[in-house]
Structure 1
Amino acid sequence: MTNSKIFARDTIFISNQDTQDLVLKDTYDELLKNGYVKGNFLGHIIEREHNFPTGLSTKTLGKNLPNIAIPHTEGEFVNKRLIVPVSLKNPVVFNNMIKPQEKLEVKFLFMLLDTHPDGQAELLSQVMDFLAKTPEKELQNLFSFKDPDTIYEFLLQKF
């Protein structure tokens, strides 16, 4: 799948919210307005995040990288397969995917939307491959961008 098919210009967001639920709500509002998700998506992604956290420490990728999260939910609540990048102006607390009791301050999300039951695993693998293969300095740049067009162009070229 080409990058232009897993990223859409109107699904790159900059959030100034300071809680997990508000970030997910703002993102959901825009995704719903543009027809990418169904009306019951928000409740399910919040519930899933609370029960199965998606925060990831980036310490193994570089000492100066902010933590990320990769929220997602079941495909029945999604209309289009996409990765939705969200840059956070304020750190937002997510629980760690590996150690669910550990809280992480997160600065960037890769929200996964997939219409297939097992599709998130493939998208998650693509995100993890991208993170592992991209030099630390380039990831620092991506995670510091505060302009949706800049994030979109970077991901089209590098993902």
Structure 2
Amino acid sequence: MNFSEFLHEELIIPKMKANSQEEVFKRLYELLLENGYVKESFLEGIKKREQSFPTGLLLNKYNVALPHTDVEHVLKSAVAVATLSKPIAFKNMANPQQDVNVNIVFMIALNESGGQVKMLQQIVQLIQNDSLLEELMRAESGKEIIKVIKSVSHEN
């Protein structure tokens, strides 16, 4: 399982303008739903899981969120991505009482149990690279975002 195989241009929104976590979730969910990757129950699953298990990660310059939910809400595995035009507050994965201003969201939709841990490990490895995050934030298109991620994920 290679993370970059789950990226599709139609599931990526560069420089998304949003005012809330809810708005980010809804926009990415709509892309996943319209393209046949998830069931209608996916959005509710993401919201519920995020309340119990926050996914904001405090990094160096750019912070990341990795929202995901259970396999029963997913038809085909994929990862929807948004780089945000301005940071949105997410609860910190390590300390749920703390907010993290997130710049990049990777919404993970996997249809096989057990795959999430491997997928999360690959993403966490990628997002520790500050220059990669910088390039993602500068990217103007989904194609460009996929190219940036593939250039790094082949090094691993």
TM (norm. structure 1) is 0.88
Instruction: Tell me how many residue pairs correspond in the alignment.
Output: 152
Runs of 4+ in structure 1 over 2 Å off: 1-5, 136-139, 143-147
CA apart distance, 1:3:
5.3
Letter in 2 for 1:149: K
Unaligned runs of 5+ in 2: none
Identity of aligned residues (%): 32
| Residue 95 of structure 1 pairs with residue 96 of structure 2 | no
1:85-126 Cα shifts (integer Å, max 9, x gaps): 211112111000000110011010111111112221111011
Unaligned runs of 5+ in 1: 60-64
Conservation of the 8 A alpha-carbon contact between 2:132 and 2:148: no
| Residue 152 of structure 1 pairs with residue 146 of structure 2 | yes
CA apart distance, 1:4:
5.1
SS at match of 1:36: coil
| Residue 7 of structure 1 pairs with residue 7 of structure 2 | yes
CA RMSD of aligned residues (A): 1.5
| Residue 36 of structure 1 pairs with residue 37 of structure 2 | yes
The equivalent of 1:57 in structure 2 is: 58
The equivalent of 1:68 in structure 2 is: 64
More strand by share: 2
SS at match of 1:10: strand
SS at match of 1:123: helix
**How many Å separate the matches in 2 of 1:152 and 1:100?**
30
Conservation of the 8 A alpha-carbon contact between 2:126 and 2:132: no
The equivalent of 1:141 in structure 2 is: 135
